[in-house]
Amino acid sequence: MYFSRQFITSLKKSISLEKLVGQYIELEKHGDHFVGLCPFHDDNKPSFTVFPNTQSFYCFGCHAGSKQVTKSSDHIAFLMSYFNLLFPQAVVKLAEITNTPLPNQEKSPAPATGKSQHTTHQTNPLQPEISDLKLPKLQKDPTCQQIFNLAAEFYHQQLFGEDDTFALDYLTDKRMRSLDIIKQFKIGYAKGGRTLYQFLKNKGFSDDQLLQSRLIAKRGNRILDYFFWENYLIPTS
């Protein structure tokens, strides 16, 4: 999923950072900046600071807002860290917060051959292009197969979650898919973030085993679900 720099810049300008952060933590004005308890570590004194002049944040306790911790200190970086999102997810989240429509089509960077390339965003976000999924290569290790089986069941159960009924409603109402078909093919819903990761960790798998399965990926210093597109349905069998 690609968003142009111009779209992201205009998106951040549509809401001030202090207003965005203030929706999730209590901020108090101190001179020309705002302070509050940091949401990223066990903070017992206001060490999280938002600077309106530069539209950036920094925690003097855990150093959130630095390149070493959150890579950046803008709106997107805050949402990524606060909600355990990847960059595209955070952009979508900010668009939802500001009621900004997502662009129907964005031009992706040209590959090394110099040929132009376009990525078309589907009118309905529940229908991604198959080429966009980039499925991880299957591993023949028995432990990986066990992880695959658990992940398939997990994704299938997520489709019937009480908090995200829109996905199931879309399948049954808009796509006219019966519950029998949905259950027969074990259609699943991948929320992204760390939902699958936490589920599999609770089953006793190590980080190395989960990374080996390729259903979990390490991005920077963070371990996250490989499938991260919000509001997408993927078949799990």
Q: Are 49 and 155 in contact (CB under 8 A)?
A: no
pLDDT at residue number 123:
37
- How far apart CA 97 and CA 188 sit, in angstroms, is 26
Contact partners, residue 106, CB within 8 Å, separation at least 6: 2, 3, 4, 7, 118, 119, 121
The DSSP output letter for 60 is: T
CATH of domain 5-97: 3.90.580.10
Domains of the chain by residue range: 5-97, 132-235
CA pair distance 216, 199, nearest whole angstrom: 11
The whole-angstrom separation of Cα 28 and Cα 22 is 9
Q: Residue 237, SS3?
A: coil
What's the CA gap between 191 and 153, in Å, rounded? 14
Least Cα distance to 95 among 87, 195, 108 occurs for: 87
pLDDT digits 0-9 by tens, 42-100: 888 899 999 999 999 999 999 999 888 888 999 999 999 888 888 888 899 999 999 99
- Rounded (10°) angle between helices 75-83 and 87-97: 110
Q: Is the pTM of this model over 0.75?
A: no
Sites in the chain below the pLDDT cut of 50: 105-136, 138-139, 229-237
Residues 6+ apart with CB under 8 A from 195: 158, 225
At 162 the pLDDT is: 59
Rounded alpha-carbon distances, angstroms, from residue 179 to 46, 50, 90: 50, 48, 32
Homologous superfamily of 132-235 in CATH? DNA primase, catalytic core, N-terminal domain (3.90.980.10)
